[in-house]
Amino acid sequence: MIVCVCKSVSERQIKACLDAGATTMEDLQIDLGVALCCGKCGPYVQEMVSGATPCCGRSCGGCCQSAQAETPAAEVVRRELALAA
């Protein structure tokens, strides 16, 4: 199933990326380019990220993920996105 229509990224590709070690939305944006165009796939991709990583078990909205260490590449993308906004 295609999750990101803008970048033609499938659910299988996202799962493979998560299995290979991606742990954040930013990792998937860097590796696959998801959620960087119209953004409509963002919530679904975030759910996939949340399901692949341990969480606090509450409806935290991703607090556990935001507490994870950010990779240097993800930090660069975050800065570039902030500059583009």
Taking each continuous run of H as one helix and of E as one strand, the counts in the chain are: 5, 2
Q: Does 30 contact ligand FES by CB under 6 A?
A: no
Q: Does 6 contact ligand FES by CB under 6 A?
A: yes
* Binding-site member from 41, 48, 49, 74 for ligand FES (CB under 6 A): 41
Q: Which residue, 4 or 74, has its beta carbon nearer to ligand FES?
A: 4
* Binding-site member from 17, 30, 34, 49 for ligand FES (CB under 6 A): 34
Q: What 3-state DSSP class applies to 10?
A: strand
User: What is each CA distance from 37 to 10, 32, 68, 73, in whole angstroms?
Assistant: 15, 12, 25, 19
To ligand FES, the closest distance from the beta carbon of 24 in angstroms equals 16
Q: How far apart are CA 13 and CA 18, in angstroms?
A: 9
Which residue ranges make up the site for ligand FES (CB under 6 A)? Answer: 4-7, 34-41
